[in-house]
Every structure is written in structure tokens, then in C-alpha cells.
Structure 1
Amino acid sequence: MFDLHPRKRKNYDVARSVGDVGSGRSVIPYLVDFLQCKQGKILRDEHKKDVVGIRSFKHYGRSVLINAVTGPFGEKTQVINVLSGRVVKDIEEDESPAKEARILFCCPKNAQFAVVGVESVDGRDALQVIKEFAKGLRRLFDDCVCPIKAIAESESWLENASLKQLSVVTKTPKPIILEDGVPDQPVSEEFGCLACVITPPKGKKFLGRTFYEDLQARKRSGNGLLTLPDVLEHKSLEDLVIETTIEGQDGRTKTILLGDAKTPAIREILSNHGEPRPDDEHFRMRVLDSVFNKYSAVGIRLKEKWDESEKEELEVDDVDWNTDDEKQPADQE
């Protein structure tokens, strides 16, 4: 969820929103201008230690599709030919083995907030592009704030979900030793946490619903013991780290800590491992369908066509989006 509103909720000078930043334009033309400025430059995500670059983008009226690349920075690594085992080249600290990840920024007319669909590939995403855009808007309109918040699953989704798997994780790391059985030979040692995974009996997809409801209630109250044959006996629920894998009625699956106060963010699987990733048009239409559903869930009815755009929104005045912490790419031959 991408929002924009005055810093002061009352007695503000200009009413700003994603639909009208105060100039009669939505944030869409500002995003397009921002992307034009940032294309070919490097953005850094210091929190994830990633670099992000904008490869290309397309403007579709009320939505913008961004193709970006992202990868780790500050680590020296190597490219190795897996057939011969030989090092092909070194990847220096200022280079990165990058993944391509897409973003779809959606801002229907008269909506109170914009929705950003962020593609994650092998755990990497390019959300930093939108975060930098929000920073730029805050600098440009210093009387406003521009928060970005994950859209959480609804309470009804959680309440109607079914329990697929229960994982009880030990809190204290235990040694994991690898040896070849030969005396006085070196051994490899690592530390890790042991998890006891409970799945439904063969032929069943879920664990009992009543059991799951009782488990949640007793975790919240702090009472109750959990007995796991041959592993744990009579352990208080307060003393256990329990992960639950649940599946909603729409088929989406999440793994969250039992009793965690944070509601999990919405996440949809676009393709599984080994399956081809959807092309740009498939990705765009899939996200747009989901965005319509998210607006409907909060009572917003959309009538505006996604590909329509008002002419006065196509361009904005010259805006300086540059910051001192940007890194320019080195000149290439």
C-alpha cells in the first residue's frame, strides 16, 4: 500500500493524495519522471545489502510496469563453469550477480491509496525503487508523508485457514558433526536448531481444525502443555517456538509463528521452482486482477479503465530527483 497525505491531519495548507499531489496530477506522472531520471543509475538497499537498477519501464495509463535487476553488493565472488570446475571470472565488490524482478505500480482514479505489486525471485525484490520514489516525494513535498505498508491478510482468511503442518523448533542451537569415522581425522562442525515437524496422517491433507483452534487459544492464554511422543513430553506452550503452515480457502499457503501478533502479508505464488516465469503481460494482468480484489475488500469500487490516462497527467515540470548518495555507473567501452 502506497499512500500520500499531509503531515498534519488538520489545518493543512494543501490536500495531497496519490490521486492529486496538489497540482491536479496523480503520482503516476511523477513516478514516470522519476524512473526516467533513475534509469541507468544504481540504487542501494542498505538494509538488505542489495543494489537495484532500473532496466526498463512501461506506462499503461493508471499503472506502470517496472523491470529492474537486483543483487548483493560488497561481496567478492566468482563465476565457475560447473562442468569443468574452472573459474570463469571474478565478480568484484562493486559488481553483482543480479536477478531480474518486476514491479507493477497501480493507482486507479479517485482511489485513497495506490497498490504496488512486487515480484520476488529467489527471495530478492526491487522494492527499493518504490522506497526511493517515496523519499523523493517527501523531499519534493516537505509538508507531506509517504508511507509504504504491506497489505496484510484479512482476519477471515486466517480464521478459515486449515493447518497443514506443525513445526516445533528447539531454542538452543545444537552441534551438527560430520566425520568419516577415521580416528584423529578432522571433523566438520556446525550449529543448528532442531525442528520436530508434524504432518497429517497419510491420506489426509490437514490436521484437525478443532485441534488447531484449541492450540491457538491456549497459546494466547499461556496455558496448556504439548506432548510429542519420543521427542518432547509435557512442555509448556510458552516454552516452545511453534511454526504453523496454514492454507487459506483460496489455496494460498503461509508459514507463521503461532501466537505471533503480526498478521502475515499477502503473498501469491506466480510460478513454482522449475516452472517458467510469467511474461510481462501475464504478470501485469495477474497483479491487476489481485489489485481489484484488494480494493473491493476495503469497500472501494473501481470503474476507471486501467489503460486510460488524462492528457494533463502525461508530463510534469522538471523535478530534480538526484541525491548525493547515488552512485553513477562507470564509463564502459
Structure 2
Amino acid sequence: MKSAPAPTFSKVQPAPFSEDEQAVAALDLCDYSVKITLEMAKNDTAHRPVRVYADGIYDLFHQGHARQLMQAKRIFPNVYLLVGVCSDSLTHENKGRTVMDENERYEAVRHCRYVDEVVRDAPWTLDDEFLNKHKIDFVAHDEIPYSAGSSDDIYAHIKARGMFVATERTEGVSTSDVVARIVKDYDVYVRRNLARGYSARELNVGYIKEKTFRLQNKMDELKNKGKKVIENIGEKRQDLIQKWEDKSKEFIGNFLLLFGREGRISHFWNEGKGRIRQALSPPSSPPRSLNASSSSRRHYDSGPPTKMVRYEECADYSSDDDSGGASQDETGDDEVDESRQDGKIFEKDGGVAETNGGTKTAF
């Protein structure tokens, strides 16, 4: 067996206006000669849809409006719901200005899924002519008396004829409440619309207010940018910390590799130890004579060279020449130079000197 299709609870077409062909056809099919009582409507014994009428301004169409129309649609088992919407001129005369114009309000209502037909330019009070024209069986509205002009309740005569059915208001929401919220946050909405491109004239604000609002928008924009920067830093904070820790470990590890037995510094020290010692203790200067004797070389290797001094001849080594036995000190600089030329240069403290090819030991 095939399963039954799932029921649909929504319409795919907006409700027609009362002058549209679809609405006129529904009106012609209605036999209004038989008066439908409240009991017949509740028990669904009228053998036709019960035509229920609800009216209002429906400015800033909200859930309170939708719930009222839902109640009117469900008040009887088989209901054809007509909704009357008052025009701008009539509303401004009897109630005040609206936010939405009449065409916007008509469209808002006809797109509510509970509505079967929309009556444009609906009257403020209902008379028999209007009721008969649209073949209305019942009028739905909340039970609170609605006064207008000299009348304490414009639905009083409907109630007296037994044609009134009550719906309940949705507490906490109404068009007046929505408008009050807008007025309360007037600055916020003006600033928002200025930022969206509306002019000061369109928003009915003066030059000073416009500049003030635009400045406030700039300040809010800067604050938001600052918050975004802080949020981005907060998101990346963990990544930055982790990267920093990884870099620190890598740096410390590379630094520690320079030390230890197998460290780079130890390896460098072992390879260049000789060069480092040579740099720290340079060798002494080479001996004067390249023909120095082996004994002189051994003496040089054994330690730093001794200071070279001029040998002063003693009396035992005085000259036998015609100088008359004068000492070296008495002969003067000329004899010193001659002694130096003869090779009479001796090393002090046991040094060895050559003199005319021979050697002498100094005192």
C-alpha cells in the first residue's frame, strides 16, 4: 500500500485582493441567504466555509498580528478568512501616522499564510452595507472595547447581533512597543542609517547632529578594529609562544654543542693548541751572527741571550804595545774602536768571544 502524502500547512501564493478574480469567484459560491449561527459554525453544519472578517492597521506587521489572524482562522473548523486593512488617509485621521504606507501594509498582510483574502481601504466602522457586500458571517477581534469618536466600542452592534468572536492579544508586543524601541534607541538607528548611505535630510536630522553621529560611527569603527586586533593576538598567542619556545631550545642546543668533550671549542683547541701557544709565547729574536759557534747556539737554545757588554781589559791582559801599559779606559774611544775591530768583544758572565780567530774566557 502507498503511504498517504504528508499534509501541507503553508500556501505558495499570496492571498488575493477582494477585487481579484479568485476572490470574486469565492464570493459568488457563498450562499449568504442562510444565516449561520455560532452553533452551526462550531459544529461545521453550515455546509460551506464560514466567512470570518478581521480588520486593523497592521503597521510594522509582527508576530502579534500573525497570532491574531491565526486565531481567527482556527476559531471554527472551516473558515474563509477575510482581512480588512485601513488606508493611510483613514488611519492618519483616526489614529495617527504610520511607519509603513498602505501598499506596504497590504502586501505584508496578504503574505501571511492564514489569510484567504485582503480587503483594501477597509472602513473604520462596519455597517450592514459592508457586511452584506462581502457576505461576512462573523467579525473577529479582541474583547477590549475599541472606542472611536463618540462611540465607546465600534464593535458594540456586532456583538449585539451575535456576530462577534473574540481573539486574544499577544502581550508584550504591539506596533506602539516597536515604535517605542526605535525612539529609545534613536541615536543608534540614525547612526546606522547614516553609515548605510542615508542623508541627513532623509533622516530629518540637523547638520550638527549628523556630524556628531558620523563621528560616533568613526569612534565605534576604531573600537571594533582595536577589538579585532586584540582577538587576533589572543588567537595567535599560543602559536607565538610555541614558536618562541622552539627557537629558544634550538638556540640553547646549538650553544651547548660548543662545549663538552666532543664540543666544537674542544676540537678547535686540540687542533690549534700549538698555534695558540705560539701566539701567547712568541720565540726570542735570532742571534746576531749567522756564523755563531755551536756552543753559542746551544747557549741560545738553553735560554734567552745574555746582555752584550764591552770587555774591560784587566792588568793581566794589558797590551804590550807602545801605549806604555795604559788601560783600556785610558786609551780613549779610538782604542775601543780598534779593539772592536780586532774582535775584542767578550760576553759577560762566562760568555765566549772571538778575538783574531781565537777564543778567550772572560772573568
Larger gyration radius, structure 1 or structure 2: 2
Greater percentage in helix: 2
Give the TM-score range, shorter chain: under 0.3
